[in-house]
Each structure stands twice: as C-alpha cells, then as structure tokens.
Amino acid sequence: MNSNFNMKKIRFRSITIYLLTGAVLAVMVGYMRTSYRHETYRLKAGEVLTQVLQQEMLSCDIANLLFNSKLTESMNEELPDTVRGRIRSVHGLQSYVVPRTKYYDNISASKIVRDVHSYLILESVLKADSLYKSWSRLLSDSSVCNHNIGLRLKQPLSGITSYVPDSITVARYDSLCTRYIGSYCEAEITAFSDISWYDLLEWTDWGLIFLAGGGVPCLCLFFVRLRKLYKSVSTLRKTKTKIQEESVKPRTRSKNNRLYNLGMEIYFDAEQNVLCNENNKTIATLSATMSNLLECFLKAPHHTLSKHDIYLAIGKELETYSLDSFYKMIGRLRDKLESISPATISNDRNGSYQLVLPSSIDKTEKKIIRMKTPTDIN
C-alpha cells in the first residue's frame, strides 16, 4: 500500500516538474519572440515614417526644383560632437545646439538636402494630421499593424507642438522612434504605439511557444521512458546471459546425491524432477509422481519393483487405483525415457518391472517381455 502511494507521489512530482519546465520554456520563448517582433515593428515603423516625411518634403513645388538640381547629390560629412547654429524667421532669431547623435535620425544624410528642408519648413508649417494619415496608410500597405498609433510633432520655430489623435491618448502610448528634419533638426516627429504583445506574434511564433511548452517536456518524458526501457532490456540481457552461463557449467555430481546417470550422458535429477544432459541443460520435466517412481527403480536391487512396490511408490491403493491408470503411467514413463535415453522399463512373467539401463542390456534383450498395455493390445 505504501509502495503504491510512494510511486503515485513520485509520478505526480515528475509530471509537475515537466509541466513547470514547459511553462517556463513557453514564457522564455514567448518573451524572446515578442522582443524580436517588437524590435522589427519599431524598425519598420521608423522606415515608413521616414518615407512619409521625405514624400512630404518632395510634395512642395520648390522642393522639386531644388532636388532636381546638382545640389541634391549626397554630400555626407563628418560632424562634430555638437553642432551650433542660428536660424532667423518671422518668429525671430532661434539658436540651436544639436548633438551629433540626432543627425543619425535625420531623414537626410546630405547637408545640402537638410538645408533645403530647413527652408521648406520655414515656408510652410508641417501638418500633424496629414502626416498621421499618410503614415497610417503606408503602414497598412506595408502589412504593418496600424492600430493604436500616434504622432507628436514639435516645431520650435513656430512654437507649435501637435498630437494625433490627442495628447492624452499619446501620453499612454510607448515611444517607437523619432525623426528630425532640417539642418539643425528643427522639426521633431515622434511615433508612438500601444500594440499588444499578442498582436505582434505571428502563427510561427505561437507554434514555437507551444512546441517549447509542450514538445520539449514530452520529449524529455520520452527520453526518460526510453532510458528506463533501455535499463530494463539491459537487465534482461544480463539475466539471460547469466542463466546461459550457468546452464553451460558442468553439473557437479559430487554435491548432488540424487543425481543418477541413465547412460549416454543423460542424467536424472531427482531434486529438480528433470532429465538433463552433461551441460545441465534440461531435456524433459517429470511429474512428482513419475520422478518418485523413477528414483525408486534406481534405488531398488537390480532396479526391479513389484507391482505392490510401485503402488507404494506412487502412493496409491490397489483397491482404488485402476489397472488402466497403472499401465498408462508406466507407459508414459517408459516412452519418456526411451525418447531421450537408452534406458527403458520392462516387465517379466512374474508381474515385476525392471528399469533396464545400458549396463544391463545384453544380447538377450530380445527375450525381455515388455508390459502390454491396452494401447499395445489394440
């Protein structure tokens, strides 16, 4: 009872460990795939926002004129750690101190193009609503999620900061990326999003999560079962090999007083009730009654027993044990001996029965009268 309870307890503990391991693996894989998808989404959203801002700059007629000239050739230059400058507009003189890192997020790598952008945003104020619509549409066309997104547009020259859809909603969202326009990064456009983690994951990601949560524990359980099976097979093989090794060992007849030689390397083991060969390999198995009778024959003088002695040996009474059963038992023992050894059982005219061994068989063997059973008579 306690053993079964302990086995159930161990099995329950193992299953719990496998389930917890699967849950931890699923969470880890889910976190890694979500982080990867979020980073991919952030980069793609930034690329699309850059395209929208570049298209907005090209939409001006004066921009087409300037960009079609030789001044639009890329002129990337080494920038100092801090760029300082001033821009005069209708709002007055504005000074700028711009760190070099901001230029990495500028929509243009060319200084001349950035100067053109500065001129354009002086001439016309950027519209946050227009940029938001264009960005949302281009995200949808690029098969990128455009739900729960927002924009913040800062234009220091005009002192205007615009939010789409509104400042309260954008404040709840997470920042995705920031882009700058102009020689001194005068215009700052920041993208926001509140996309959920399950919207970021694709069906392949869900497959990996379920594989980690269910497949890995099942695989571990399979290998544990396979290891146990391998141990069982190994134990069985070792046991079989041990039995075979023991079976080929010669029988030590000096230690077994109930081992009899029947001739032609055939032995009768009265302790085991078997007939075996020199290598201790069992050839035939005898019943307890038949084994007891054969041992009485071997112990009797001249291996001869009367009918009365045979009844005593098998524990039967003359009045209750029929002759037919008696003849059949003697016949079965004789047939079994003759099938695997030179020994046999014969009877004489006085009603006695003799176990004839090879040493007692001579040229007068033909004179031995075998017992007639009802089968022989038929």
Q: Are residues 8 and 127 in the same domain?
A: yes
Task: Please check whether residue 268 is in contact with residue 293, taking contact to mean a CB–CB distance below 8 angstroms.
Answer: no
pTM (global) more than 0.85: no
The predicted structure's pLDDT at residue 371: 37
**Does residue 13 carry a pLDDT above 60?**
yes
**Does residue 356 carry a pLDDT above 60?**
yes
The predicted structure's pLDDT at residue 254: 45
For residues 279 and 297, the model is more confident at 297
Q: Are residues 333 and 195 in the same domain?
A: no
Least confidently predicted of 47-51, 58-62, 274-278, 343-347: 58-62
The predicted structure's pLDDT at residue 193: 92
Q: How far apart are CA 275 and CA 94, in angstroms?
A: 117
Query: By percentage, how much of the chain surpasses pLDDT 90?
Result: 15
The predicted structure's pLDDT at residue 251: 46
Q: Are residues 180 and 302 in the same domain?
A: no
Mean pLDDT taken over the chain: 79
Q: Which of 200, 217, 240 is a domain's end point?
A: 200
Extract the tokens encoding 193: 């999003």
The predicted structure's pLDDT at residue 191: 94
Q: Are residues 162 and 27 in the same domain?
A: yes
pLDDT in tens, 313-349: 887 776 677 778 888 888 888 898 888 888 888 888 7
The predicted structure's pLDDT at residue 318: 64
Q: Are residues 300 and 188 in the same domain?
A: no
Mean pLDDT confidence for 9-14: 74
Task: Please check whether residue 234 is in contact with residue 59, taking contact to mean a CB–CB distance below 8 angstroms.
Answer: no
Residue 273 covered by a domain: no
For residues 105 and 320, the model is more confident at 105
pLDDT in tens, 25-50: 888 888 888 888 888 889 999 999 99
Residue 249 covered by a domain: no
Assign residue 305 the CATH number of its domain.
1.10.10
Residue 368 covered by a domain: yes
Mean pLDDT confidence for 148-173: 89
Q: Which of 200, 216, 241 is a domain's end point?
A: 200
Sequence-separated (6 or more) residues with CB below 8 Å from residue 344: 334, 337, 338, 355, 356
Q: Are residues 310 and 177 in the same domain?
A: no
Q: How far apart are CA 239 and CA 274, in angstroms?
A: 22
Q: Which of 105, 104, 103, 85 is nearest to 95 (CA)?
A: 85
Extract the tokens encoding 50: 């850059």
Q: Which of 182, 131, 192 is nearest to 158 (CA)?
A: 182
**Does residue 132 carry a pLDDT above 90?**
yes
Range of the domain at 304: 288-377
Q: Are residues 44 and 142 in the same domain?
A: yes
The predicted structure's pLDDT at residue 252: 45
Q: Are residues 176 and 29 in the same domain?
A: yes
Q: Which of 166, 200, 234 is a domain's end point?
A: 200
The tally of domains found in the chain comes to 2
The predicted structure's pLDDT at residue 138: 92
The predicted structure's pLDDT at residue 189: 94
Q: Are residues 51 and 162 in the same domain?
A: yes
Residue 121 covered by a domain: yes
Q: Are residues 55 and 159 in the same domain?
A: yes
Mean pLDDT confidence for 44-64: 82
Q: Are residues 121 and 16 in the same domain?
A: yes
